[in-house]
Structure 1
Amino acid sequence: MTDASTATPKTNARPPRRQQLDMADQLKQLQAGPDADSGTSTGAETPAQQPRQSRPPRQNNQGAGNQRPQRQQQQPRKQGAQGQAQGQGQAAAQPQRAPRKVNPVLERLFELYPQLFGARFVPLKLGVYEELLARHPEDFKAEDLKIAMGQHARSTRYLEAVAAGLARHDLDGNALDPVAPEHVHHAILELHRRRLQRANSEDLRPQLVARIAKAVEASGLDREAYAVLVRSRDENNNAVVDEALAELAQQAAKREALLRAFEASGRSEQEFADMYGMKHGEVTRTLQRARADREAPAAPAVEAPEAPAAD
């Protein structure tokens, strides 16, 4: 009897230190993936052996152990949101670039001539600097006006107006002679150089070739005269000019071939277009251009632009 009575309180007493260590090992085995025969049955029997409910055993925290990976998965999201907030805060904290200060002389020019220095830029007549000094001696100093006019002439908007071949204007807004072909050419090259600085790896050469080809046609010069006029020491620029001229020569050859085929066919333009599956308007324009190429004068007109270079 004495042995039985003493055995009962021992079962209700707290497990000895060795048993606690064994239970801890079993808990580690459960978390690490226990075998079906030993680990699972041990995890089910251990809570029944614990008399104190106020302090649950460690193995009952399996549910919490299963939730830890979820918290770990949510933590990067939280950190990402915090990182975004910090990045936005740093971007807002960085000082914004101050707007470029406008030259006061250019502001005064805009007040006096908004049609020339306002929202729309146009090429200015040669000698406009001297004319401005003569008209407004009280408004401008010679050196200040020279600097301001240089800034205006180097601006991208002004170069675009020159590259487009617009006519030069006087201070009264009257359109005068068109910009010289060499000035148009140099403006196109400068705009291309500036675009290259912003385009990274984009290939802008086809656009440059096409624009120079249009400038050649708009100049009224033949291809050889234009090449002589704009030839420079820059071999890259010369190669682009040669490529544009070669493309124009190929187009002219195609127009001439079409004109010859039309003349040999003995058909009307409409019948000829239907025969080749082309649009009537396209055939008409091409034939007109081919006839103009034939009638274009050769020697006198192409030699005229070379005179200033010879002097």
Structure 2
Amino acid sequence: MSNLETAPVEFDCAATPSATVEILQPRDVPLGGPRAMRVQRTLPQRQRSLIGAWCFADHYGPEDVRSRPGMDVAPHPHTGLSTVSWLFSGEIEHRDSAGVHAMVRPGELNLMTAGAGICHSEVSTPNTTFLHGLQLWVALPDQARHGPRDFHHHVPPPVDHEGATIRVFLGELAGSRSPVPTATALLGAQLNLPSGSSVQLRVDPDFEHGVIVDSGTCEVAGARVRPRELAYQGPGQQVLTLATVGDEPVRAVLLGGEPFTEDLLMWWNFVGRTHDEIVEYRAQWQAESDRFGRVEGYTGPLARIPAPPLPGTRLRPRTPTIRKDSP
């Protein structure tokens, strides 16, 4: 999915130390105009812009698209990242400049790697009534961000763990491992907890973790988390505990990864390292450069999304404050 903000802000991404559970509130963001879909964005934020290499998280729906426009995102570019699409309901048609034509369906991972550059479109299908899911981005490390375009599809099997149902779409958790390769160590999983239950998950102590609650209210390591909020737990913990609150079951998505140790700069749909890189990416997209290629088969009203104007100031990355050798 594109970041369709007409005046996107610069995010100088850095991992920030935290010894306790931190609750991040979502921002309400309109995608492409007053009648367009609205999303709840929990990453990036000023106080925390990364969880491992996870650098962007939009939570949308349930959006009733029976009587209003659904998702129709024209071809748009990406650099230096992988997109992760995860649906709870609905269906989205994906096309990209690597020639991939795929359907995004509930409980199925679609991971697209931009590498040096890609463009893609996303359109909800006519039979979709409610659109509901997460759009996530993963920053690529320097050795992978100039690489080729790629795409992976995976349907993770449900695994029962202490009464919770877990679907691991990236990484490893509760004895289940995803076969999808990633450029950095990552974890991504959907968690479903029945009402009145709790679960203890053994996690990698080198990882930081985030729990985005979709429905129900739960406690994450003792901190109460409501729908659309994100609970963050820093590295050094071997167990992550979740418990439902009240009579409702809980559905949540768990993200994790080793703290990202490289300078990082995000603007619009580009992930880079320097101001000059972002300027060049934008210029090449506007010039319809071969860096991004072309999407075949998209028939929407807009052939491609133009890049918004750059801000009047120089974009600056921030050096991360967590290093792998941090105590």
Calculate the TM-score normalised by the size of structure 1: 0.19
Higher relative contact order (CA 8 A, sep 6+): 2
Question: Higher helix share goes to which structure?
Answer: 1
Bigger radius of gyration, 1 or 2? 1
Q: What TM-score does the superposition give when structure 2 sets the normalisation length?
A: 0.18
